[in-house]
């Protein structure tokens, strides 16, 4: 891996994702989430329309993370990378019809023993620039 500390602050994106009704239903079904707000537009009408399960947020926010770890200048050996943890701060639900724009930023890099600990922050807004979800992705890379 190149001198990772030099890449702190580097941004990746923006990446755009259009949230479709069927994508919400597919995700909810795949994760065995049968709540009607994720499947039935009539039932979801009371809450402003079909909304995605919270962890659907991984789908529009993952591209900047991949762009970061795939950055050729970083020289990351993907075989030595593991996902440490992630967390999301939700500013509002993701809804069918949303146009989501996500950027990622390498926030911190710490070297500890034979490993790098990398934190990537993703910021997702809607088409009006309003915050939707902020993600923190912690990765561990063996040197």
Report pLDDT digits (tens) over 9-66. Answer: 999 999 999 999 999 999 999 999 999 999 999 999 999 999 999 999 999 999 999 9
Report pLDDT digits (tens) over 70-94. Answer: 998 888 889 999 999 999 999 999 9
Tell me if 94 is assigned to some domain. Answer: yes
The whole-number average pLDDT for the span 91-110 is 96
Tell me if 103 is assigned to some domain. Answer: yes
CATH at residue 72:
3.10.129.10
Tell me if 29 is assigned to some domain. Answer: no
Cα 73 to the center of its chain, rounded Å? 22
Tell me if 47 is assigned to some domain. Answer: no
Contacts of 95 (CB under 8 A, 6+ apart): 19, 48, 49, 50, 51, 52
Q: How many domains does the chain have?
A: 1
Q: Do residues 106 and 67 lie in contact, with contact meaning Cβ atoms separated by under 8 Å?
A: no
Tell me if 28 is assigned to some domain. Answer: no
Report d(CA 48, CA 15) in Å as an integer.
25
The whole-number average pLDDT for the span 124-141 is 97
Tell me if 10 is assigned to some domain. Answer: yes
Which residues span the domain enclosing 61?
4-20+53-142
Tell me if 66 is assigned to some domain. Answer: yes
Tell me if 25 is assigned to some domain. Answer: no
């Amino acid at each position: 891996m190149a001198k990772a500390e030099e890449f702190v602050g580097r941004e990746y994106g923006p990446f755009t994702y259009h949230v479709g009704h069927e994508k919400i239903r597919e995700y909810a079904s795949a994760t065995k989430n049968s709540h009607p707000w994720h499947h039935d537009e009539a039932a979801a009408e009371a809450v402003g329309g079909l909304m995605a399960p919270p962890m659907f947020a991984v789908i529009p926010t993952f591209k900047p993370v991949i762009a970061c770890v795939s950055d050729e200048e970083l020289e990351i050996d993907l075989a030595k990378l593991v996902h440490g943890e992630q967390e999301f701060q939700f500013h509002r639900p993701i809804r069918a019809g949303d146009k989501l724009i996500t950027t990622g930023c390498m926030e911190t890099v710490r070297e500890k023993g034979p490993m790098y600990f990398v934190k990537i922050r993703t910021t997702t807004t809607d088409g009006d620039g309003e915050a939707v979800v902020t993600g923190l992705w912690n990765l561990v890379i063996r040197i």
